[in-house]
């Protein structure tokens, strides 16, 4: 395969996309594995552990590339990749239990990083091997480009995927496309496919559209069932509160309203806190409750990080997010309480508002263009669907240049990749 050809470029881009969407958990494991090491060893463990992981994964992928040349295995690998593409779209529920001890020295951290990458990267290995079309150069280049991005840009990457789930759909589409490419390249099927040339285009349409549609419908139905269940809880909740007749907390003769302010450390969170401070100066008769929600880790991460390590990591990230907001409230002499929770953001915000018996929720959101709103998972919209507590939305910063130009370019690059793959 000519390295200057469109086929080589599209295959390389597909490998990078596959690595990015399938390797987020590996980045978290690496961060947790090095967390307890002295500062001067953390960076060294991450670098050498990453290099070791690249070597191990490259070796595994090259072995799979060779195995896929065995008659029949290419078709089986394509079928497995269809299932992997579908599972990528379905979010996991909760965190599993830990099975590996905390790494407390350099070599233990190295071992955890390499072993975790080998165990968690099996789906990645199969997908990359299928996208490489038998080219060892593509395998090595793809891993050398994408793995460092995952490791050192893990936090940014995970936030991006969480905010823009359409990126995951793009990755699933590339995986589904690669699966069809693998199945249609099976030598045992070539005589039949040459006779029936419409089979391959139909297979592309059925598998790619089928996987994406199945994932979308499954996620949509899950969301609908959660919203329906929560709406059904509201009458019971109101009846219980009325029966209990719990009086509102008072300070002197002033009723103390409870205001929940979900924050994530962004500039938009600062806009929400400034708004609360401004209102407090007008009427100091309310309680401020800051809430930071940390996204849960997958069960794959839990295999290589004990619960206390995961909890410690969440607390560290939460304190980083809360620090500037805490300073703003302290300087304004506004009393407040802090809450850190782990879970899905919208559901956790609604649950916490109910638990604290809040009278009001103040949510900040950025100004966005229509394309961004169509693609992103809006926490504000989901909170409005899930809670009966009045919500005040504070508009923050205007849309960034990254969102204005980067998202359309990213969508165009993704569609271009699929077009290039189609004409290979």
pLDDT digits (tens, 9 = 90+) for 408-417: 676 666 666 6
Strand duo 257-262 + 254-255: pairing: unpaired
Which range has highest mean pLDDT (105-119, 163-177, 338-352)?
Answer: 338-352
Whole-angstrom distance, CA of residue 349 vs CA of residue 361: 9
- Residue 232's Cβ-count burial label (10 Å; 0-12, 13-18, 19+) is exposed
Question: pLDDT tens across 264-307, in order?
Answer: 878 888 989 999 999 888 888 788 999 999 988 777 676 677 78
Helix (H, G, I), strand (E, B) or coil at 286: strand
Q: Where exactly are the structural domains of the chain?
A: 6-219, 247-400
CA-wise closest residue to 301 among 98, 44, 22, 75: 98
Distance CA 263, CA 246 (A): 28
Q: Longest C-alpha distance within the chain, in Å?
A: 87
pLDDT in tens, 134-192: 777 887 787 777 766 666 655 555 566 666 666 777 778 888 888 888 888 888 888 88
The whole-model pTM stands at 0.60
Superfamily the domain 247-400 falls into: HUPs (3.40.50.620)
| Beta-bridge partners for 361 | 260, 391
**Residue 343 φ/ψ region, left for φ over 0, alpha for ψ in the -120 to 50 degree band, beta for the rest:** left
**Under DSSP, is residue 134 helix (H, G, I), strand (E, B) or coil?**
coil
Give the highest mean pLDDT range of 43-52, 154-163, 214-223, 282-291. Answer: 282-291
């Amino acid at each position: 395969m000519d390295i200057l050809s469109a086929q080589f470029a599209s295959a390389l881009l597909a490998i990078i996309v596959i690595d990015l969407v399938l390797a987020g958990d590996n980045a978290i494991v690496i961060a947790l594995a090095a967390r307890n090491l002295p500062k001067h060893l953390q960076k060294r463990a991450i670098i050498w552990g990453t290099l070791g992981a690249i070597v191990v994964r490259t070796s595994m992928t090259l072995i799979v590339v060779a195995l896929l040349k065995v008659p029949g295995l290419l078709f089986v690998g394509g079928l497995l990749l269809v299932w992997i593409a579908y599972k990528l779209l379905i979010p996991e529920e909760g965190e599993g239990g830990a099975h590996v001890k905390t790494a407390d020295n350099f070599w233990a951290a190295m071992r955890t990083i390499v072993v975790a990458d080998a165990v968690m990267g099996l789906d990645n290995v199969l997908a990359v091997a299928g996208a490489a079309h038998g080219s060892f150069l593509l395998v090595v280049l793809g891993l050398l480009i994408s793995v460092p991005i995952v490791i050192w840009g893990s936090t940014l990457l995970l936030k991006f995927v969480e905010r823009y789930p359409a990126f995951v759909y793009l990755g699933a589409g590339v995986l589904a496309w690669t699966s069809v490419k693998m199945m249609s390249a099976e030598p045992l099927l070539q005589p039949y496919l040459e006779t029936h040339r419409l089979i391959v285009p139909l297979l592309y349409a059925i598998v790619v559209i089928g996987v994406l549609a199945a994932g979308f419908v499954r996620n949509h139905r899950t969301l609908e069932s959660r919203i329906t269940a929560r709406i059904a809880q509201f009458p019971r909740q109101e009846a219980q509160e009325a029966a209990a007749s719990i009086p509102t907390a008072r300070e002197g003769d002033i009723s103390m309203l409870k205001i929940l302010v979900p924050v994530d450390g962004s500039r938009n969170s600062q806009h929400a806190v400034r708004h609360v401070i401004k209102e407090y100066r007008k009427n100091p008769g309310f309680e401020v409750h800051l809430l930071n929600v940390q996204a849960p880790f997958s069960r794959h991460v839990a295999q290589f990080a004990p619960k206390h390590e995961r909890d410690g990591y969440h607390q560290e990230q939460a304190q980083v997010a809360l620090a500037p907001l805490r300073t703003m409230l302290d300087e304004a002499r506004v009393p407040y309480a802090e809450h850190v929770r782990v879970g899905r953001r919208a559901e956790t915000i609604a649950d916490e508002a109910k638990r604290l018996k809040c009278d009001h929720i103040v949510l900040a959101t950025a100004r966005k263009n229509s394309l961004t709103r169509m693609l992103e998972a809006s926490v504000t919209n989901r909170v409005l669907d899930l809670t009966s507590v009045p919500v005040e939305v504070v508009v923050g910063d205007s849309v960034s240049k990254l969102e204005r130009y980067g998202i359309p370019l990213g969508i165009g690059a993704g569609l271009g990749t699929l077009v290039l793959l189609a004409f290979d």
